[in-house]
Amino acid sequence: MPVTKRKPATAAAVPNAANSRASKLARLGLHSDMDLVLHLPLRYEDETQVISIRQADLMGSSVAQVEGVVSACDIQYRPRRQLVVTIADDSGQLVMRFLNFYGSQTKQLAVGTRVRARGEIRHGFFGAEVVHPTYKVVLEGAPLPSALTPVYPSGEGLSQAYLRKSIADAMQRLQWRDTLSAEQLAALRLTPFEAAVRLLHNPPPEVDENALEDRSHPAWVRMKFDELLAQQLSLKRAQVARRAKNARALPQIGALSDAFLSRLPFALTAAQQRVLTEIRTDLRASFPMQRLLQGDVGSGKTVVAALAAAQAIDSGFQAVLMAPTEILADQHFRKIAAWMEPLGVTVAWLTGSLKKKEKIAAQALIESGQAQLVIGTHALIQDSVQFSRLGLVIVDEQHRFGVGQRLALRNKAATENGGADGESTLAMTSNFVPHQLMMSATPIPRTLAMTYYADLEISVIDELPPGRTPVVTRAVDQNRRDEVIARVHAAAQDGRQVYWVCPLIEESEALQLQTATDTYSMLAEALPDLRVGLVHGRLKQAEKQDVMDAFSRGEVQVLVATTVIEVGVDVPNASLMVIEHAERFGLSQLHQLRGRVGRGSAASVCLLLYQSPLGSIARQRLMTMRATTDGFEIARRDLEIRGPGEFLGARQSGQAMLRFADLTTDQWLVDQARDLAQTLLHDPAPASAATVEAHLARWLGGREDFLKV
């Protein structure tokens, strides 16, 4: 039936506005009264005092609130369109500039209007000046607020005033209940829920502002504790739920595993051996493994993954390995196929750039079960790919995949067909979950991994294969580029190879490409006796492959590359890496890039070219890179510099569970929350079960599922 769109009646204008505000609230995740009540201030503004304009001017570039009457209000066009409003009090005048403004503001701020304005007041060319102050129109003698004014995390089109009102209304409607009992509160010395929340939204005048600011105030501690408790409860429950699921037990460590190990040209390091034992034990179980294999770049995760795959194959099941880029998938394919195919294993290869015919052939191999090992990119998660007997999923560089992508691959075992060998004629779908091994060279500090992933076992390779010499790292001002080029030349003369990484330009892919091409021409010209190659994300797969192959074979001596080479690429003869505009890269990215050298026995060097002057964060990063090659240490410092939210990125964490707690400072609370979670879950009393439910509902709402991936 066709749906006719009716024009809203004029009377509907108000409800529509309300609707759109509601949807803006929803975009912030604020659906219920409790959501609103738990939408806590980011910070506070002190609007309890007004000082004179002259006093503010003399204070010099600090935030202050003044009050005055508008004496002029014009739109000016120099240097660009802006609203310029002058206000005056008895002591002097202040120019307020608005670069973004609504036409209606000229009326609102008409000459003669009294306003209270707050912002960073500077002494400019024309006297006291402030850009984009917050302001409100007031009547003479209007009372000042007696408490600090909360500033909430907001979204586009949602004013602070509207948020404040919505939250205040929600606090009135809410049926206040503490999820913790009085005894529990007393034992943990925690503030009651309602008191804590009310204080944070409306701090009394005598509150310790510093404690609010750094979130050490008991009211904040209560919020952080609650949040951590919810997380710990959910983590423990996810663990229980996983253990209740079915997976194919992969008990055989047989002919393939043995032959594979005995043919390796090296012995496993003790750390590789240890994590392999952990994985092997998990794979024997009939509930799914969910394990993160962490190991610094070059620590040798691939061979461990291949041995896990060998166990699946020895046990009669398929294994799949997914990598985030074609270059990396291809490298895995070659390496692992070279190891496995001579031992009689059929390895299939599937990526987006395959021709249609090849794709269909690969899919047929996978679906029939003939392919025992499948290697590819995210092309593997398409619907048309069906497995016959999928036992193990391996995801390399897992932080590069979204939560949804990992989940899609895992779900492949549930949609597999009956199996070509007729073993399973029972059902077309199975309720088996494959074992999952995720690998990452971006080391996540243990506390973070534990608190951000609902349920994950962790194995760490904490040792590099023998014979590696640590990479020497230097920061070099880019005006010394000539010396750097001379160094590149010398390295090539010595039979070594060089990566030259192009600057990251996040705002524009086109510009990034341009820079890569320019850099390539510049180097090709400066080094006429060397072969210079160029690889970037826009090349066709075959072209990319040709360049990478030539580099692997040593025919290309200098590889100019964008960050497509960031992950995984393994060319042991490369021993010099130049990273241009290193100040634009994050720490973990620099660490990943640097990990491309120092893979062979030659002493390797990494030159971080930077443009001065350096900002303080960039300086800290470069200093960290110079100081250490230990990925875990780098991760720890990265966490300090950036904080956990950014550290993991939205892609990785799904929706980060922790809004208030800070793992760098609140570890003691994590421990307490973990203990209470343990107690609550093991207590058979119905009251405890009720507490668990109420607490999870309050803090996680619908978000829990996302974290089980």
Q: Which positions lie near ligand ADP, rule CB under 6 A?
A: 266, 268-269, 272, 295, 297-303, 441, 465, 570, 572, 599
Q: Considering the complex, what minimum distance in angstroms separates the CB of residue 327 from Mg ion?
A: 12
Extract the tokens encoding 630. Answer: 């230990």
Residues that bind Mg ion (rule: CB under 5 A) add up to a total of 1
User: What phi, psi does 501 have (nearest 5°)?
Assistant: -95, 130
Interaction partner, residue 295 (Mg ion, ligand ADP, none; CB < 5-8 Å by kind): ligand ADP
CA–CA dist 146, 150 (Å, integer): 12
Interaction partner, residue 297 (Mg ion, ligand ADP, none; CB < 5-8 Å by kind): ligand ADP
CB nearer to ligand ADP: give 201 or 596: 596
For residues 304 and 275, the answer to whether their CB atoms sit within 8 Å is yes
152, 65, 75: which is closest to 106 by C-alpha?
75
Interacting positions 537-576 with Mg ion (CB under 5 A)? 568
Q: Considering the complex, what minimum distance in angstroms separates the CB of residue 302 from Mg ion?
A: 5
Interaction partner, residue 399 (ligand ADP, Mg ion, none; CB < 5-8 Å by kind): none
Residue 82: beta bridge partners?
A: 76
CB nearer to Mg ion: give 288 or 568: 568
Coil, strand or helix: which one is 635? helix
The angle formed by the CA atoms of residues 404, 542 and 547, to the nearest 5 degrees, is: 110
CA–CA dist 64, 307 (Å, integer): 64
Token pair 């202040």 is at which residue? 94
CB nearer to Mg ion: give 178 or 296: 296
User: What phi, psi does 79 have (nearest 5°)?
Assistant: -75, -25
CB nearer to ligand ADP: give 226 or 566: 566
Interaction partner, residue 180 (Mg ion, ligand ADP, none; CB < 5-8 Å by kind): none
150, 199, 193: which is closest to 175 by C-alpha?
193
Give the start-end residues of each E strand in 544-604. 558-561, 574-579
Interacting positions 601-620 with Mg ion (CB under 5 A)? none
Q: Considering the complex, what minimum distance in angstroms separates the CB of residue 248 from ligand ADP?
A: 26
Q: Considering the complex, what minimum distance in angstroms separates the CB of residue 623 from ligand ADP?
A: 24
316, 291, 512: which is closest to 393 by C-alpha?
291
Q: Considering the complex, what minimum distance in angstroms separates the CB of residue 154 from Mg ion?
A: 41
Q: Give the residue closest to ligand ADP by C-beta.
A: 300
Q: Considering the complex, what minimum distance in angstroms separates the CB of residue 585 from ligand ADP?
A: 18
The reply to whether 300 sits near Mg ion by the rule CB under 5 A is no
Interaction partner, residue 266 (ligand ADP, Mg ion, none; CB < 5-8 Å by kind): ligand ADP
Burial code (b: 16+ CB inside 10 Å, e: under 16) for 680-706 equals beeeeeeeeeebbeebbebbbeeebeb
Q: Considering the complex, what minimum distance in angstroms separates the CB of residue 586 from Mg ion?
A: 19
For residues 469 and 528, the answer to whether their CB atoms sit within 8 Å is no
Q: Which helix (H) or strand (E) holds 273?
A: helix 270-284
For residues 419 and 346, the answer to whether their CB atoms sit within 8 Å is no
Q: Considering the complex, what minimum distance in angstroms separates the CB of residue 666 from ligand ADP?
A: 31
121, 124, 146: which is closest to 132 by C-alpha?
121
Interaction partner, residue 298 (ligand ADP, Mg ion, none; CB < 5-8 Å by kind): ligand ADP
Q: Considering the complex, what minimum distance in angstroms separates the CB of residue 305 from ligand ADP?
A: 8
Interaction partner, residue 443 (ligand ADP, Mg ion, none; CB < 5-8 Å by kind): none
CB nearer to ligand ADP: give 272 or 624: 272
CB nearer to Mg ion: give 369 or 568: 568
Interaction partner, residue 465 (ligand ADP, Mg ion, none; CB < 5-8 Å by kind): ligand ADP
Q: Considering the complex, what minimum distance in angstroms separates the CB of residue 400 from Mg ion?
A: 11
Interaction partner, residue 497 (Mg ion, ligand ADP, none; CB < 5-8 Å by kind): none
Burial code (b: 16+ CB inside 10 Å, e: under 16) for 379-395 equals bbbeeebebbbbbbbbb
Q: Considering the complex, what minimum distance in angstroms separates the CB of residue 465 from ligand ADP?
A: 3
Cβ-proximal residues to 564 (8 Å cutoff; 6+ apart), any chain: 325, 327, 535, 536, 537, 544
Cβ-proximal residues to 89 (8 Å cutoff; 6+ apart), any chain: 52, 53, 66, 67, 68, 69
Interaction partner, residue 308 (ligand ADP, Mg ion, none; CB < 5-8 Å by kind): none
The reply to whether 295 sits near Mg ion by the rule CB under 5 A is no
CB nearer to ligand ADP: give 126 or 266: 266
301, 303, 278, 302: which is closest to 291 by C-alpha?
278
CB nearer to ligand ADP: give 441 or 676: 441
CB nearer to Mg ion: give 304 or 498: 304
Q: Considering the complex, what minimum distance in angstroms separates the CB of residue 79 from Mg ion?
A: 51
Q: Considering the complex, what minimum distance in angstroms separates the CB of residue 127 from ligand ADP?
A: 60
Residue 88: beta bridge partners?
A: 69, 93
Interaction partner, residue 299 (Mg ion, ligand ADP, none; CB < 5-8 Å by kind): ligand ADP
Q: What are the angstrom distances between the C-alpha of 124 and each of 76, 117, 128?
A: 17, 17, 6
CA–CA dist 45, 184 (Å, integer): 34
Extract the tokens encoding 474. Answer: 């230097």
CB nearer to ligand ADP: give 419 or 465: 465
Q: Considering the complex, what minimum distance in angstroms separates the CB of residue 649 from ligand ADP?
A: 20
For residues 457 and 290, the answer to whether their CB atoms sit within 8 Å is yes
CB nearer to ligand ADP: give 257 or 388: 257
Interaction partner, residue 268 (ligand ADP, Mg ion, none; CB < 5-8 Å by kind): ligand ADP
CB nearer to Mg ion: give 365 or 374: 374
Cβ-proximal residues to 177 (8 Å cutoff; 6+ apart), any chain: 193, 694
Interaction partner, residue 269 (Mg ion, ligand ADP, none; CB < 5-8 Å by kind): ligand ADP
CB nearer to ligand ADP: give 303 or 558: 303
CB nearer to ligand ADP: give 300 or 503: 300
Extract the tokens encoding 284. Answer: 């024997």
CB nearer to Mg ion: give 166 or 299: 299
Q: Considering the complex, what minimum distance in angstroms separates the CB of residue 437 from Mg ion?
A: 13
CB nearer to ligand ADP: give 441 or 484: 441
The reply to whether 150 sits near Mg ion by the rule CB under 5 A is no
Q: What are the angstrom distances between the C-alpha of 55 and each of 89, 145, 381?
A: 11, 21, 64
What DSSP assignment string belongs to 458-469? EEEE-SPPTTPP
Q: What are the angstrom distances between the C-alpha of 394 and each of 359, 367, 430, 438, 468?
A: 21, 18, 20, 6, 27
CA–CA dist 664, 645 (Å, integer): 12
Q: Phi/psi zone of residue 701: left (φ > 0), alpha (ψ -120 to 50 degrees), beta? A: left
Q: Considering the complex, what minimum distance in angstroms separates the CB of residue 627 from ligand ADP?
A: 21
What DSSP assignment string belongs to 68-121? EEEEEEEEE-SSS-EEEEEEE-SS-EEEEEESS--THHHHHT-TT-EEEEEEEE
Interface with Mg ion (CB under 5 A): 568
